[in-house]
Amino acid sequence: MYKDKTSDYFEGVAAKYLRAVDANPNKSNQHEIGGLPSAGFMRFLGTPKEHEKIRFRAKQVYITDESLAPEVSEGRVTWYDVRSYDSKRDPEYRLYYYPNSVTELISEGDFLLIAKMRDGSLLMVFTPPGGTIENQLRLLFGLDHVSGRVKAGSLDNVALLLPLRLMLEGLGLDLGHKDAEDDEWLSRLIKDFGGDKFPSTSIFSDYARKSLTDIIDPVGSPDNAIVGWMEHEEKLFRIYERYLVQQRLRKGFGCEGEDVEAFISFSLSVQNRRKSRVGHAFEGHLSCIFKLHGLNFQQGGGKGFTTENNSKPDFVFPGFMQYRDPEFPLEKLMMLGAKTTCKDRWRQVLSEAYRVKSKHLITLEAAISERQTNEMKSHGLNLVVPLPIQRTYSEEQQGWLLGLSDFIECVRNSQALV
């Protein structure tokens, strides 16, 4: 499983809520962000000499809780002293940014996280305040309360849980950190799968479960098992994917005039495989756990495995035949949606099985905002979060969340009813 930390990729971090002069050109003569030296972040940016301007490559991102994909812009920013021409005044350092598709979206009050990466570039993430994205950024970079002032974060010992890793990769970052054992795993993967293409998700997931050397007890500790299996499979997948992509890039993409379209097609196939595979892997591992616990269930999507309006719930307990039987006791019916990340997609679960009044959704997403979990509660949705990820939620939220073992017990009890 992954052993890297946030500090393997970032040197330092600071965060603030944007003021009007930071975000609104009508209230400032420049596109500038101030206040960063007060957070101790200046040591990562450097101290400009007289009249000097320090330039950084920067990836700027705007993302909301509802975003299907973030808005991303890459360019440069400038760090300088706006008072360098006035020796009678103390220095005032600001970060100048150029207008682009991201900065057009930012507003006063938005949360900004700015991090110095190990390659010397900057990551600047803007998001509306008080949401899940802000919560996850705080968690990822060791940030506690941020008031109107700038706050520095600590990257020491911040582990990259799988949902946080997926979040960073969703922002377009390449987490290519290699462990000493990666080469050994690659040799095994090439030997077992041929080194020319990916096996099916079900085969690869089964391989991940069987090859995990850490002690995993899916019966005694299903919460740790689902997280452990997912992390291990994700690690193996990225090791093997990196190798296969490198092999494809070495071959090239055809003659001039065809190579661009071929490359774009290949790139899209890589992205689509990443998106679809993780969800199927999650469902596959859950299915394995449910079987080991002796639960009666069926997965949606196949012929006949649908509910009203051709909806396809991920799991129905004990099955679709019982669901469609008007004589079958409602108290013995349960359904479970499975989404590695929620966003607004959790609402889909509400309409997937009308006969089941109290629905369940399991997710690997960390630090969902209280605002969103309160909305889930108001709609009667029970959120299931594996215990290793529950610690990223507030104490109040944890009092309401179910673990995977809790959910399994609920199903077992429903199926034991006479």
Bridge partners, 60 (sequence order): 73, 124
Q: 132: pLDDT confidence band, cut at 50, 70 and 90?
A: very high
Q: Where are the domains of the chain?
A: 6-170, 182-274, 298-416
3-state secondary structure of 333: coil
Residue range 367-391: average pLDDT?
Answer: 94
Q: 145: pLDDT confidence band, cut at 50, 70 and 90?
A: low
Q: What is the pLDDT of residues 270-304, one digit of tens each?
A: 777 777 889 999 999 999 999 999 999 999 877 67
Percent pLDDT > 70 in the chain is 86
Catalytically active residues, by annotation: 323
Give the residue, 244 or 317, on which the prediction is more confident: 317
DSSP, res 19: P
Highest mean pLDDT among 27-31, 46-50, 93-97: 93-97
6-170 shares its CATH topology with 298-416:
no
Across the chain, what does the average pLDDT equal? 85
Between CA 125 and CA 388 the distance in angstroms is 26
In the prediction, which pLDDT does 406 show?
97
Please check the confidence at residue 403 and state whether its pLDDT lies above 90.
Answer: yes
In the prediction, which pLDDT does 274 show?
74
Residues 6+ apart with CB under 8 A from 317: 295, 296, 297, 333, 334, 335, 336, 411, 414, 415
Environment class of 279 (CB within 10 Å of its CB; exposed 0-12, middle 13-18, buried 19+) = middle
CATH topology of domain 6-170: At1g16640 B3 domain (2.40.330)
Q: Which amino acid is at 241?
A: E
Q: 45: pLDDT confidence band, cut at 50, 70 and 90?
A: confident
Please check the confidence at residue 256 and state whether its pLDDT lies above 60.
Answer: no
| Domain spanning 298-416, CATH architecture | 3-Layer(aba) Sandwich (3.40)
Please check the confidence at residue 125 and state whether its pLDDT lies above 90.
Answer: yes
In the prediction, which pLDDT does 295 show?
96
Q: 386: pLDDT confidence band, cut at 50, 70 and 90?
A: very high
In the prediction, which pLDDT does 167 show?
78
> Quick check: 272 and 199 in contact, CB under 8 A?
no
Whole-prediction pTM value?
0.86
Residue range 96-100: average pLDDT?
Answer: 91
Q: Report residue 395: phi and psi, to 5°.
A: -60, -40
User: And the tokens for 133?
Assistant: 């994205």
Q: What is the pLDDT of residues 347-369, one digit of tens each?
A: 889 889 899 988 999 999 999 99
Environment class of 157 (CB within 10 Å of its CB; exposed 0-12, middle 13-18, buried 19+) = exposed
Torsion angle, alpha carbons of 189, 191, 196, 201, to 10: -40
In the prediction, which pLDDT does 164 show?
75
In the prediction, which pLDDT does 325 show?
92
- Sign of the torsion angle spanned by Cα atoms 393, 396, 402, 405: positive
Q: What is the pLDDT of residues 259-279, one digit of tens each?
A: 766 666 766 777 777 778 899
User: And the tokens for 154?
Assistant: 């600590």
Please check the confidence at residue 119 and state whether its pLDDT lies above 60.
Answer: yes
